[in-house]
Amino acid sequence: MAKNYGNKYNEPYEEAVKNINKIIDLLKKTYPEALTTSLKFKNPFELVVATILAAQSTDKQVNKITPFLFEKYKSPQDFANADLPELQKDIKSTGFFRNKSIAIIQCAKDLIEKFNGKVPDNVEDLIKLHGVGRKTANVVIANAFGKQAIIVDTHMLRISNLIGLTIHNDPTKVEFDLQKIVPDDSWTDFSHKIVEHGRNICIARRPKCEICPISEYCRYYNNQK
């Protein structure tokens, strides 16, 4: 399957947009247990760190190391004062550990200096932290603070284009497109359902369109007929 998710189109797929509530209902029925992130955390800062670690890795892999990591480093201050080579060793199994260790230490320092060590509950402040982009910020406000958020990870970016809910490949543009289409009380739930859909059915390179519950409303599927 091509990775040019939707750029050849000039506008969203009308069938998908007008039936967004049906799509949401079908995803809810298919993935009733997909209600939150699969990353394990006990407080907002742990989720910030876990989400940084999950970049170019998997939630499953991150969850293998965070129990030890958060026992060793219990606070933003602990991470801010961490020995860089030692932290790199602690997180090595998640990949890209050199960049991630620097990002985590600087993020902790930013949090202490800018917000007195307390994780903000809004995207605008969260993205002021080193290593925190809009995706990470939305993960945190949705899962640590219970706010509605569209989370544009690799699954959302790919699948929202395939369905035809957006024509953009820029994550921020996709986020804003989906905010206009998805009812605002369903943003977070829709995000979690799409992740599960990407893991189980709408798999990159080999989507299982024949068993997809929302294929009727999907541009990619209907263009294959």
**C-alpha torsion sign, points 132, 154, 160, 12:** positive
Q: Any idea which residue has 């049906």 for tokens?
A: 22
Q: Which amino acid is at 88?
A: Q
Annotated catalytic residues are 135, 153
- Determine contact, residues 56/96, Cβ cutoff 8 Å: yes
| Backbone angles phi and psi of 179, in degrees to 5 | -60, -30
- Determine contact, residues 47/37, Cβ cutoff 8 Å: yes
Read off the tokens for 122.
């809004």
Surface-to-core class of residue 162, CB atoms within 10 Å of its CB (0-12 exposed, 13-18 middle, 19+ buried):
buried
- Determine contact, residues 172/138, Cβ cutoff 8 Å: no
- Determine contact, residues 87/81, Cβ cutoff 8 Å: no
